[in-house]
Every structure is written in C-alpha cells, then in structure tokens.
Structure 1
Amino acid sequence: MKLQRNGRSKALAIGAVALVSSLSLAACGSDNNNSSAGSTGGTGGSSTSAAAIKCADKQAPMLAAGSTAQGTAIDVWKAAFGAACPSSTLNYSGGGSGAGVQQFNQGKVTFAGSDAALKATEVEASKAVCTGGGQGIDLPMVGGLVSIIFNVQGVDHLVLDAPTLAKIFDSQITKWNAPEIAALNPGVTLPAADIQAFHRSDDSGTTQNLTAYLAKASNGAWAYPAAKTWAGKGGQSAAQSAGVSAQVKSVPNSIGYAELSYAQQNNLKSASIATGASKPVDATAVNAATTIATAKSAGASNPNDLALSLDYATKAEGAYPIVLVTYEIVCDKGNKPETLDTLKAFLNYTISDAGQHAIGDKGYVPLPKEVSDKVKTVIGTLS
C-alpha cells in the first residue's frame, strides 16, 4: 500500500503537474461554496462529465455532510451526477469535518467529508453504524491546499515561513513590520500596523492540516499538536472557511487561512511559503500537486483504509507544503442498502478522470493515478 519515493513517484509528480497545468486556474469557481442545503444544483461540469457517469441500477437520494474544503467540488460533482441520474440527488451540508464525522457515526448521513483521516476512537465509534462487522474507512477524493490569505495595506506579495506563521497565529508576532516578517520580505514596505489573525471556530480538517504543517516545520515555534480544534492564543474566530475568508477580505491588515478555492472566489492574496527550497513557493494547484504526488500510505490496519501521510516539512523545489486531502468517509461493510448502489456510482464518478478533471479549475488538485486506482478498487468492494 505504500507510495514509494522512487522513479515511479517522480513520474507521478510530473504527471500530476502536467494534468493540473492543463487546467485553467483563473476560474473563480461556484458562488455557492457553502453547499449547505438543497438537492442537486451548482454549476460546471455537468455537460462535459455526463459521459463518465454510470447511474446505479437502484437510484436513491443521499445525505452527506462535513468538510467545507470540498464544498465547491461537491457542487460540481452533484450537478453533473444529478443531471445524469435524476433520482440520485445529493444533499450535502457543510459544517466542517468534525461535524461530518459526528453525523456519520450517528448514522445520519450516507457519507461524510473530512480533511483529516479518522482517529482510532472515531473508527471504533463507526462500528455501531457500519453493520455486519464493518467500520468507517477513509477514501481520498479531493486534493487541495491551504492558502495563507492576507489583506495587508500596501502589500501585494508576501513571503512567510513556518516559524513566523506559528508566532503570528500564536500572538507572539503582533506587528506587520516585525523583524521576522521584514527579513522574509526585503524591499517590501510593511505597515507598522497591528496584525489581526483569524482562525476557524468550528472543528476543521483545514485547521488540522495547517497545524500539522506548523507542528512539523516551525522548529518548535508551534507548541501545540496538530488538531481540528484551534489551540493558538489570541486572534479572532470565524465559522468555516467562508467566514474566515469574509473576515480577512473585510478587515485591513488581517491574515487567515482557507482553501485555494476560497481565496480565488474572494479575490484574496495568498502568501508564498519559504520552505528551505531555493525560492519561496507560491500557493498554486501545480505546486500542491508536487507534494501530494509523494504522499505515502498512513499505514492503517485496515487495508481498505487509504489514509495518506503528507510531507508538510518538504523542502523540494516547487513543492507547496500546506496541502490537504479530503476523504469521503464510508463503511467498508454495512453501508445502508437503500443507498449503497447510488453511493458507489457517485464515488466511481468523482474518482474518475472526468470527475477529477471537472474540479481542476476550481482550485483543486487532481489526485495522482496511483492513489485514484486504489480508491477505485476499494469502491468496488463496498457492501
């Protein structure tokens, strides 16, 4: 199951970059990024992807919930899927990864979206709803990146690194013209203004991926473990990625974090990250693909669980380090029989080349073939 860092892995990285490079990242994506309620809707992808969709013999409407990071991707997919399979509508409620996993383990949704793999305690809890000896598993479905979004007066391009970000988000650096920030941005006139940092108020896989990066790459400046719940001192909170993005957009001299799609939709600037490579790395899907393509298996005890281990401390040239993979959480066995066929049909579409390509111009990273092939195999075994 391990994805090795060998010649094949290098080829994956090149292939992933080539695929993403062929997509236009200028598009701003769906305006309905919250994906909160309603049946199939949204824009984009339905006409070009319909040929790749095979409807279930037994169609049924589905409920799902969780990650807001994949909200725009779900909008695209459910529009295409619902157009091809009118009796297979999907109602996806955002609310964050924590809420999605909780609803899945309460038996309220067919699947959950999470930007963080299931914890051992969450897997154990899932056994109550995955009947017949089944349990929840992680299926990688959406690749992306966490943008460090900023709104600093007079600054169009900003470079930050992990130790500096850790201190900003922990209220240890409080002025934009602090020496640590100035050293990373020679020639840039930084205002002598207070920094207003924003973080997520809800349990969030996006927060977990950001804090995993800070914990791995900040040389001890971030004193907290990676977690869905925000632990840094100070700052202000906002609900979901949409809330953080809205606050950064409206508050001068602010900084926050959100997925690339939210940065694009809100016309927000994203900081470049100094990783130790020869030059800072921009927050682009191409650069995130370089990192995601080298992911390894997280070594889950269940061979059908495809959780990945990401290299947040990468120093590879052109590798953006703050990446995320959103998982669809399903039962390996014991899925609800009334929606099982539709679930498999939907997931087979989303992991297909057409499904992955359909979200490439919304700020997402198509998953490498070695990952998508394994996901396809596991989908075929769901029962």
Structure 2
Amino acid sequence: MIRNFKRTVAVLGAVAAGSIALTACSESNETTSGDAGTKIEGLSGTTGNLVAEGASSQQKAVDLFGVKYAEAVSGANFSYTPSGSGSGQKQFIAGQVAFGGSDSALKDDQIEAAKQRCGGNEAWHLPMVIGPVAVAYNVKGADNIVLTPELTAKIFKGEITKWNAPEIAAINKDAKLPDTDIKVVYRSEESGTTDNFQKFLKATSNGVWEGSGKSFPAAVGAGANGSTGVVGEVSATEGAITYVEAGFAKDAGLGVAKMDFGQGAVELNKDSVNKALAKLQYKGEGNNMVVDSTKLFEMKEAGAYPLVLTTYEIVCSAGYDAETSGRVKDFLKVALANQGSDLEALGYIPVDGEFKKKLETAVDAIK
C-alpha cells in the first residue's frame, strides 16, 4: 500500500517539478510539454484560472492535466473540486464552472437547461478519462478471487453474506476463502460511478439487480463519501467489498476481483480494457460522444474487461466568452497530449487511435 501510494505521489511530484523547469511557448501557440515531448499545437495561450468540478473518479487524471496545463500556458491555472458527478452536472448547468466532470451523461430533463447555460448551444460529452472500475475487497489470505456479474449483484444486494459461501467457492476452488462476513461499502453521495455500476449489474446479472441511478440503495452495507472514502473504509474493514476506480483500489493495496463475463476469468489490466474500448459504440453522432454503456457492459468479447467508466468532460459546444473558450480548449488539448505513461501509472487507460482522433476533432470544434 505504501509503495503504491509513493508511486502516485512520485508521478504527480515529477510533473510538478517539471512545471518549474519548462517555459510555455505561448507566443508561437506551441509547447513541448506533452507526454514524451509531444508538441502541442494550436494553444491560445489564454491566461487566468479555469474552474471545474465533478467526478472524483477522474481527480488524479485532471490533477496531472492541470499541472501540465499550467506548464504549457504561462499564467494559466486549473482548479478542480471532486464533489461527485451529480454536483459537477449541476454546477455546470448553473454556470458556476467552465465544465463538469461526470461518469454519466446528462439526463433528458437536464439537456434543455444545459443548452440554455450554453447560450442556446448543445452541451457536448467528451469521454476524456478512461477508468476501469474494480470490484475491490479486503480479505486476508484470499488472493485472485473470481466473481461473475450475477455473484457480484447478489453480494451487493445482500443475498450472499459470507466469503466462503458455496456460490463463491464453486468458482474459486483453489482459493482460501474464510468464514468472514461480507461487508458492502458503497458511495454515500450521488455518483456517476454508482450510476454506471448499477447499469452494469442490471445489464449483466440475469435479472438479479434492478436498481438504477446515481444513488446506491442503502438497504445493505455502509456508505462512504467519494472514491477515497470507500477505499479507506474497505482498507480498515476485514471482509469489506466495494466498487471503485482501479487506480484508487491499487493505491490502497486492495484485492481486485477477476471477473468472468461469460468467457472465463478476466484480469483488469490495460490490454483487457483496450479490448473493450475497441468495440465502443455511441448513442449519437457528431461531437457529442455519449457512449452506449449498455452495449459496452453487455459485451461478451473474450479477454475484454467492459466494466469501464468513460468519464466525460461536459462542455459547451459554443456560447463561452472568448477567454473561457480559450482556457477550456487549451486544457483539453493539453489533456489529449498527455495520454501516456504518467496517466497509466495513476490507474487510467490512455486514449489512442481513432477514439483519440474523434476527441481531438471535437475539442477543435468548440467555439
């Protein structure tokens, strides 16, 4: 746990130190502060403070991007409040932040309000941060636990209450499963992670899970606030289990379940997530990149891990004042230029290929 924590601090510390050493080339609208020295072209160089709020799942990623942004644009700063997806959406619609970070798309009854906030223009969902969700646990002596979506649903519903329950033991024949109570930990605040986790369970558990939405049903287990809160609670509680972004689980030293989606046990890693990302489908066309999460979660591709958060930056397609538009576009360009090893070390999946090109096109089109 300490080793992983130090690695995360080292990554952010290294890029912070780099921001002192490097100077942005704002006069030429170009910088070399991107990942592995990649040039970032077309920056406006707009100074000032860019404010955003939302999903805690993307906090470590946007912290990294914020350091790189300040490094790339002299006189620019970025602040992000990880208050949860629900709050990020509300603050964006209210015009209190330049963009909202969210693990789920705006609901139908929010679309018109978001359009009004954007001066009559469409709000776009840009899935800039890709974070796999871990089913994370604290069970001493039980490594490499395998679960299925149906077993996972029964655990979080309170229908399976012991780690050595016959249903779990049946697919973990070599594991040393203790006679320990399972203690469910869930997000206590409105959360896009909760929304997506419930969508996943509903789509894959053969009717076991029926709930939906950003609020987790409180009938079973105990709530904790934010991604940091749930991993802290699980770390301190023998037998506990939660759903959380992979980077948080790994930094806390928690066990991460392998998931059998119907084609055998799949370990959560870059390769298995990229197999799922390669099959992404969208609900709409153009630059509003709302991922069809149901088709993603129902995926049966061998070796793929589809329990993935495609975390959005919700932005105005147009309607910003000139300075805000410049800051938003510069920040997003910097983020796309830093999809490499530093981001991966924080537990995220760097975007690449056609998916990345689609995001670049959308960012260029913001007015």
Name the CA distance, whole Å, in 1 between partners of 2:179 and 2:241.
15
Q: Which residue of 1 aligns with 2:251?
A: 265
270, 287, 293: which is aligned to 1:285? 270
Aligned-residue offset at 1:332: 0.8
Alignment size in residue pairs: 345
Residue 209 of structure 1 aligns with an amino acid whose one-letter code is N
Change (3 A) 1:307 1:42: farther
Aligned-residue offset at 1:344: 0.6
TM norm structure 1: 0.85
8 Å contact kept, 1:145–1:288: yes
Name the CA distance, whole Å, in 2 between partners of 1:52 and 1:77.
15
**Aligned to 2:287, what secondary structure does the other structure show?**
coil
Residue 117 of structure 2 aligns with an amino acid whose one-letter code is V
Q: Which residue of 2 aligns with 1:98?
A: 86
231, 238, 255: which is aligned to 2:217? 231
**Aligned to 1:359, what secondary structure does the other structure show?**
helix
Does 42-51 or 180-189 show the bigger shift? 42-51
Name the CA distance, whole Å, in 2 between partners of 1:266 and 1:243.
11
2:69 counterpart of 1:86: no
Name the CA distance, whole Å, in 2 between partners of 1:218 and 1:32.
39
Name the CA distance, whole Å, in 2 between partners of 1:97 and 1:165.
23
**Aligned to 2:117, what secondary structure does the other structure show?**
coil
8 Å contact kept, 1:298–1:307: yes
Name the CA distance, whole Å, in 2 between partners of 1:99 and 1:42.
28
54, 58, 65: which is aligned to 1:66? 54
Q: Which residue of 2 aligns with 1:322?
A: 307
Q: Which residue of 1 aligns with 2:329?
A: 344
Does 304-313 or 258-267 show the bigger shift? 304-313
Q: Which residue of 1 aligns with 2:241?
A: 255
Aligned-residue offset at 1:108: 0.5
Unaligned runs of 5+ in 2: 20-32
2:292 counterpart of 1:309: yes
8 Å contact kept, 2:143–2:175: no
Alignment of 1:38-187 (within 5 A): 43-44=14-15, 46=18, 49=34, 51-54=38-41, 55-131=43-119, 133-187=120-174
Change (3 A) 1:42 1:210: farther
Does 51-60 or 291-300 show the bigger shift? 51-60
Aligned-residue offset at 1:348: 1.3
More helix by share: 2
Change (3 A) 1:236 1:288: same
Name the CA distance, whole Å, in 1 between partners of 2:218 and 2:171.
22
Q: Which residue of 1 aligns with 2:262?
A: 276
Alignment of 1:364-379 (within 5 A): 364-379=348-363
Name the CA distance, whole Å, in 2 between partners of 1:281 and 1:305.
31
8 Å contact kept, 2:86–2:191: yes
TM norm structure 2: 0.88
Per-residue CA shift, 1:142-165, capped at 9, x if unaligned?
112000110012212211111111
Residue 321 of structure 1 aligns with an amino acid whose one-letter code is P
Unaligned runs of 5+ in 1: 1-25, 34-40
Aligned-residue offset at 1:315: 2.1
